[in-house]
Amino acid sequence: MRVRVIILLLFFLGCTERDRNNPLDPDNPGTHGRLSGFTVYSEVKQAVLGWDFINLKGLNAFYIYRRENGDSSFVRIAQVPPSVFSFKDNDVNYNVEYEYYITAKAGDYESPPSAIKRTTPGPTYTWVADFSTGFISCLTHDTRFILGSFGILNFPYLVAPSPRENSAWVYSRYSDGLYKIDHGGNRILALSGFKNIIFMQADTIHNDLWIARDGPGKVDRLNLQGELEISVSSIKKPTRLTVDATRHMCWVVDDSSREIVLLSYGGSERIRRGAGLNAPMDIALAQKQELIWIADSSRIVQLDYNAEPTGVEIDGFSYVWLIDYDNVRNICWAADLAPYGYNSHVLKISDQGEILAKLDSFLYPRCLDVNEFDGSCLIGDIGNGQLWKISADGNSVNTVGDFAAPYDVSVEHHGHFAGDDL
């Protein structure tokens, strides 16, 4: 039987140095007969497969095999011509894990399976600004694959996705540069002269960018070309902002006056109210319920859209300074920074203020964002140089990617899913 396999390989593949030159020979010490360089990653509504180029006589096709999560066996789903070294599987569903392998076909001979690769498609991407390495990275929905990275001189500080453009805004604080890049890390726009931006967020409906500047305080709105549309200078020290694109407005935290300010799309103040805040650090919106969540140093406070307290208040924190809200599941996520950062906590909180989960061992959580499609919470921890992904139930914490100092993380949402129609 072994002699027959060798004869088939020699006949169909024209191999003269079987153990060295023929990558499909099972005795090849480098490949063991398997196709190499096999990669799988997900994009919106598809899985993308690729593998290394090979040039062999007698090669007829590549076979694509797939298995869905829970299935016992693989099924051949496609046959690709020998001149093609990639494949897009458009017959996929969101939040379903798929496993793939490929083989090469030459006459009656089919090579052993390649390595098995996994991916879980979904309508989101995750952007990470790694301050230490100087790279901005765009990860797939399942965060298993980095689609592209873009190196920025003087280190990236903030990132804000713009889903309708399939891109993200990036700010480098030390060069005062504002960039826009696509998923592959290609530069679309480069602007200079943007000093002291401390936070920014894109309006996902109008494609605008809201930015908060420090010293002197200012809130600006830029159009998609980076041109200034409005500038508000009445906020003395803006620290955080959040955009409600469906209502065309922006909420801003003023650290100087310890107030929150509601700005219209045109930049006029609608509401300015302290509501007894002590030291507001971050703000998040429960848009369906028209509620505001404030990270107020030693406590978390819930307000209504008139900035009046609702009665929901949680105290006893060390220094809660990051907060975000899952509008699909009505869940609040927050980071409580412990003294010197050691043993900081990340909390999952119900809309009634009940702490549902408390995770510890974080060193210095610098950024936090919620993926509203799968309910996961992403934490950039610069204390241990890790990006963490916490599952929606709060029971699983996984390391994501290879980062050094993830200063900012932001999820880019696409498509329609529960929570879109707010």
Tens of pLDDT along 315-342? 999 999 999 999 999 999 999 999 876 8
pLDDT for 69: 85
The CA distance from 244 to 25, in Å, is: 59
pLDDT average, residue stretch 290-311: 95
Average pLDDT, the chain: 89
Q: What tens digit of pLDDT does each residue of 349-368 get?
A: 999 999 999 999 899 999 99
Read off the pLDDT of residues 233-260 as tens digits, 9 standing for 90 and up: 999 999 999 999 899 999 999 988 999 9
Q: The domain 2-119: what is its CATH number?
A: 2.60.40.10
The per-residue pLDDT for 16 is 44
* Start and end residues for every CATH 2.130.10.10 domain found in the chain: 124-413
**Residue range 29-36: average pLDDT?**
71
Residue 188 clears pLDDT 50, i.e. is over it:
yes
Out of 32-46, 176-190, 275-289, least confident range: 32-46
Q: Which residue has the higher pLDDT, 264 or 14?
A: 264
3-state secondary structure 271-315: EEECCCCCCCCEEEEECCCCEEEEEEEEEEEEEECCCCEEEEEEE
Per-residue pLDDT, averaged over 85-106, amounts to 95
Q: For residue 37, is it left (φ>0), alpha (ψ between -120 and 50) or beta?
A: left
**pLDDT class of 274 with cuts at 50, 70, 90:** confident
Residue 8 predicted with pLDDT over 70 = no
Cβ(20)–Cβ(27) under 8 Å? no
Identify the CA nearest to 56 among candidates 6, 7, 16, 108: 16
Rounded mean pLDDT, 145-171: 90
Task: Give the pLDDT of residue 369.
Answer: 98
Tally: H helices and E strands in the chain? 2, 34
58: phi then psi, degrees, rounded to nearest 5: 85, 0
Decide if pLDDT at 230 tops 90. Answer: yes
What is the pLDDT confidence band of residue 402, given thresholds at 50, 70 and 90? confident
What's the whole-number mean pLDDT along residues 67-87? 94
Spatial neighbors of 90 by CB under 8 A, at least 6 apart, are: 45, 46
Confidence of residue 30 (pLDDT cuts 50, 70, 90): low
- pLDDT of res. 7: 41
The predicted structure's pLDDT at residue 233: 93
Looking at 3.30.1360.10, 2.130.10.10, 3.30.930.10, 2.40.128.20, the CATH number of the domain 124-413 comes to: 2.130.10.10
pLDDT score recorded for residue 20 = 54
The percent of residues in the chain predicted with pLDDT above 70, rounded, is 90
Q: What is the pLDDT of residue 15?
A: 44
Render pLDDT for 104-155 as a digit per residue (tens, 0 to 9). 998 888 989 999 999 999 999 999 999 988 999 999 999 999 998 888 767 8
pLDDT at 173: 85
Q: Is the pLDDT of residue 392 over 90?
A: yes
Rounded to 10 degrees, the C-alpha dihedral 108/113/118/120 comes to: 10
Domain with CATH 2.60.40.10 in the chain: 2-119
The pTM assigned to this predicted structure is 0.89
Distance, in Å, from the CA atom of 373 to the CA atom of 123, rounded to the nearest integer, reads 8
Residue 27: band (very low, low, confident or very high) from pLDDT cuts 50, 70, 90: low
Q: Among all chains, which residue has been given the structure tokens 């604080």?
A: 173
